[in-house]
A and B are shown apart, each in its own frame.
Chain A
Amino acid sequence: MSDNAVAGATSVEHEDEVLAELTAPVPEVGDGGPEMVQLLTPEGQRVENTEYDEYVKDLTDEDLRGFYRDLVLIRRVDAEATALQRQGELGIWASLLGQEAAQVGSGRAMRPQDYAFPTYREHGVAWCRGVNPLNLLGLFRGVNHGGWDPNEKNFHLYTIVIGAQTLHATGYAMGIQRDGDVGTGDDERDAAVIAYFGDGATAQGDVNESFVYAAVNNAPVVFFCQNNQWAISEPNERQTRIPLYQRARGFGFPGVRVDGNDVLAVYAVTQQALNAARSGNGPTFIEAYTYRMGAHTTSDDPTKYRVSAEVEVWKHRDPIERLKSYLVHTQKADQEFFDAIEVEADALAVTVREGCLSMPDPTPDSMFDHIYVEEHPVVEAERREFAAYHAGFEGEGSH
């Protein structure tokens, strides 16, 4: 996730480029094509779908308002984290802006006993699993490398090496199989795993190996790819020659493309895939077709490689506005509700900010902790040396 680009570098020497961009025709922006599952249009109109309607038919108005609340709150957390990075309080932040529906729709489709293996951008999934956003910020602030207990909310630690977690997810799913927690018909027992990754990761050997391992083991794992169109600066055309979801067929399991900015469709498609996995029907590949509205991370500068006209097209597909339109015109939510969510979001942002600023730095000798379970002579010797070295400065003031 590292890159050395300096943000915000528009200056006089770029003037020609800026003018050229402003006058250039709008680029062709993919819309996902006819195969893409969509239950809500960008305007918030409900589209009937004979295959997937059944997965959303039991959703109450309260559930739908809950989705909206999730989308707004996690976007607010994300915006606050970006601001905290700009103010020097986080070393870096990987924004999920634009991908909220893909994460909330899939996250809400999970049951408590299911397990998520995220990349480093799944703040919305973490939210749905009940992980405190401050746990995520700790990593980006540099006080730890994650540090939460993955088994508490069945949400694994963020994995920064691209695609590696897909194999961990598959192995975990193989463990579920061996525990007999697949296909019993018991809704509280049968479990599945979701492996999250991006379009860039689909080129990784690990991801392709995980497809093979999951397929031959019929493992209860859902491969959830958020195709946000950009792997840092490299577009889809540099990643693949066919639509990503079509790759699944070559590995022997179903692949489906879903509108990643449509929380209902993502929820439905993920429900179906999780049900299949839990009941013993093996893996599914979901390509959530979405867009990274912001930079790859706060260190990135997307103006160097993509045009703002493309971003403008995707703004009209915004996941929050679309659900809001639907809730408004179906009268499932009123202005009072939307106002209340804004108030809650602002309060959450304050909590996140205060929590971040008051996060204690780790004590220096804590870097020797938790390297091994069992006592280790080198670690212990160096811990003593470190303490003795610093003790030697006592009385000399801080250093």
Chain B
Amino acid sequence: MGTMTIAKGINNGLRAAMERDPKVVLMGEDIGKLGGVFRVTDGLQKDFGEDRVIDTPLAEAGIVGTAIGMALRGYRPVVEIQFDGFIYPAFDHIVSQVAKMRARSLGKIKLPMVIRIPVGGGIGAVEHHSESNEAYFAHTAGLKVVCCSNAEDAYWMIQQAIESDDPVLFYEPKRRYWDKGEVDESAAPRELLKAQVCREGTAATLVAYGPMVKTCLQAAEAAAAEGKDLEVIDLRSLSPLDLDTVAASVEKTGRAVIVHEASTFLGMGAEIAAALQQRCFYHLEAPVLRVGGYNLPYPPSKLEEEFLPDLDRVLDAVDRSLAF
């Protein structure tokens, strides 16, 4: 049991996975001596050597493409994409190769690899450093997509993703990297693909993942002060979605507000809203609402606070749901 940041949780999780399985190798830009631009891999090259913590050339298609080859040879590569907006050069390999290789071989081969992606905005960065592109990959059959929101999940989920025989995109909420939380390294971890009810309530359900979980928990605190008792669900897995947990909550509260940084159009919220109207039609007291980024290219950082969902926009949506 200890207190650590999300970044340190991932670092410890990577270390544990590498100690357990010599086939686990890390690949990415600047992940060696520097420890990555967010220091998530800090100290790992020193302890595991340059053959297992590989500083790659600066080419994302190359990183993912060679990681595929390593996986075909029996390794379990864990790839770091430096920023969300830099994953697109590797898009072809992820969508056309990683996702489809097993089906192409009729199950003869597997491709166990993890692609780590720092995700989301709120850090005052220049263009391409603040994007939320999880829906592209959640849309693609053959991939699993997960997103941690706290240190304990960071520690466990990265290990579970590495142990998965299926390829996993592992999103890390970059603006929360330095948020601290308790991590019990001896406890039994939660299931990787299950959502978690992280605050129980009765008035409405807030559904979030990654960086927006904290925002929703803060919104629930504020609402509680006004006598509104909100339930908050951390999805944790975006593909597959644990709709059972979400639907059970919405059947109880009758109202749902889905919150993510990504633009709402054809986003995770759209999928969840569609599923909820199908599964909870007679339980719904109000339309399912979404709070997300506007449907624009990510704006300059001076405007990102206006663009991103925050506590007030979440509460505004909750009020609209309750007033319906």
Convert B46-88 into 0s and 1s, putting 1 for each residue whose CB lies closer than 8 angstroms to a CB of A: 0000010000110101101111111111110100000000000
**Does B104 contact A146, Cβ atoms closer than 8 Å?**
yes
Q: Provide the bound-state CA to CA distance between A167 and B92, in Å.
A: 12
Q: Complex formed: what's the CA distance from A171 to B72 in Å?
A: 8
- Report the count of interface residues on B (CB-CB < 8 A): 45
Interface check B25, CB cutoff 8 A: yes
Does B61 contact A209, Cβ atoms closer than 8 Å? yes
Whether A147 contacts B69 by the Cβ 8 Å rule is no
Q: Which residue of B lies closest to A178 (CB)?
A: B51
Verify if B15 is at the interface (C-beta below 8 Å from A). Answer: no
Q: List chain B residues, Cβ under 8 A from A374.
A: 164-166
Q: Is B73 touching A144 in the complex (CB atoms < 8 A)?
A: no
B274 to chain A, nearest CB (A): 13
Contact of B25 among A157, A178, A370, A372 (CB under 8 A): A178
CB proximity to B under 8 Å, residues A197-216: 205-206, 209-210, 212-213, 216
With A171-B67, A376-B240 given, is the CB distance from A149 to B102 under 8 Å? no
Query: A213 CA to B61 CA in the complex, in Å?
Result: 11
Q: A206-B61, A374-B166, A377-B240 are in contact. Are A150 and B69 (CB under 8 A)?
A: no
Q: Which residues of A lie under 8 Å from residue B239 when comparing CB positions?
A: 378
Chain B residues within 8 Å of A173, by CB: 69
B61 touches A167 (CB 8 A): yes
Q: Are A209 and B164 in contact (CB under 8 A)?
A: no
A28 at the interface (CB under 8 A from B): no
Q: How far does the alpha carbon of A209 sit from the alpha carbon of B61 in the complex, in Å?
A: 8
Inter-subunit contact A205/B61 (CB<8 Å):
yes
B89 at the interface (CB under 8 A from A): yes
Residues A212 and B59 in contact in the complex (CB < 8 Å), given A149-B108, A149-B109: yes
Report if A338 contacts B (CB, 8 A): no
Within A207-263, the residues touching B (CB, 8 Å) are 209-210, 212-213, 216
Compute how far the CA of A371 lies from the CA of B62 in the bound complex, rounded to whole angstroms: 24
Judge if A116 is at the interface, Cβ distance under 8 Å. Answer: no
Is B66 in contact with A171, judged by CB distance below 8 angstroms?
Answer: yes
Given contacts A167-B61, A167-B93, A370 and B72 within 8 Å (CB-CB)? no
| Chain A interface extent, by class | 35 or more
A166 to chain B: which residues have CB within 8 Å?
65
Closest to B59 in A: A209
- How many Å from the CB of A181 to the closest CB on chain B? 10
A339 within 8 A of B: no
Contacts of B59 in A (CB 8 A): 205, 209, 212-213
Note all chain B residues with C-beta closer than 8 A to A101. none
Q: What residues of chain A lie closer than 8 Å to B61, measured between beta carbons?
A: 167, 205-206, 209
- B103 near A370 with CB under 8 A, answer yes
Q: Report the nearest B residue to A193, measured CB to CB.
A: B69
Find out whether the CB atom of A157 lies under 8 angstroms from the CB atom of B104: yes
Flag if B70 contacts A172 (CB, 8 Å): yes
Cross-chain contact A172 with B72 (CB below 8 angstroms):
yes
Name the one of B66, B68, B104, B166 contacting A372, with C-beta atoms under 8 angstroms.
B166
Complex alpha-carbon distance, A216 and B57, angstroms: 8
Inter-chain contacts of B107 with A (CB < 8 A): 369-370
The 0/1 profile, CB within 8 Å of B marked 1, for residues 139-159 of chain A is 000001111111100001101
Least Cβ–Cβ distance between B94 and chain A, in angstroms: 11
Contacts of B71 in A (CB 8 A): 171
Mark interface residues in A168-206 (1 if CB within 8 Å of B CB, else 0): 111111111111000000000000000000000000011
Of B69, B104, B142, B164, the residue contacting A168 (CB under 8 A) is B69
With known contacts A148-B105, A167-B62, A172–B96 Cβ distance under 8 A:
no
Encode B92-114 as 1/0 by CB contact (under 8 A) with A.
11001100111111111110100
The distance in angstroms between the C-alpha atoms of A166 and B65, with both chains bound, is 8
Which of A148, A150, A171 gathers most chain B CB within 10 Å?
A: A171
> Which residues of B sit under 8 angstroms from A156, Cβ to Cβ?
72
B141 CB, nearest partner CB in chain A, Å: 6
User: Taking A175-B75, A205-B61, A377-B240 as contacts, is the C-beta distance between A167 and B103 under 8 angstroms?
Assistant: no
B residues touching A (Cβ–Cβ < 8 Å)? 25, 51, 56-57, 59, 61-62, 64-75, 77, 89, 92-93, 96-97, 100-110, 112, 141-142, 144, 164-166, 239-240
Give the B-binding residues of A (Cβ under 8 A).
144-151, 156-157, 159, 161, 164, 166-179, 205-206, 209-210, 212-213, 216, 369-374, 376-379
What are 30 of the A-B contact pairs (CB < 8 Å)? Answer: A144-B106, A145-B104, A146-B105, A147-B106, A149-B109, A161-B96, A164-B93, A164-B96, A166-B65, A167-B61, A167-B62, A168-B68, A168-B69, A171-B65, A171-B67, A171-B72, A171-B73, A174-B66, A174-B70, A209-B61, A209-B62, A210-B66, A213-B57, A213-B66, A369-B103, A372-B166, A374-B164, A376-B240, A377-B240, A379-B141
Q: A161-B92, A168-B72, A371-B102 are in contact. List 8 more A-B contacts (CB 8 A).
A: A145-B103, A147-B104, A164-B96, A167-B93, A171-B72, A175-B72, A371-B141, A373-B112
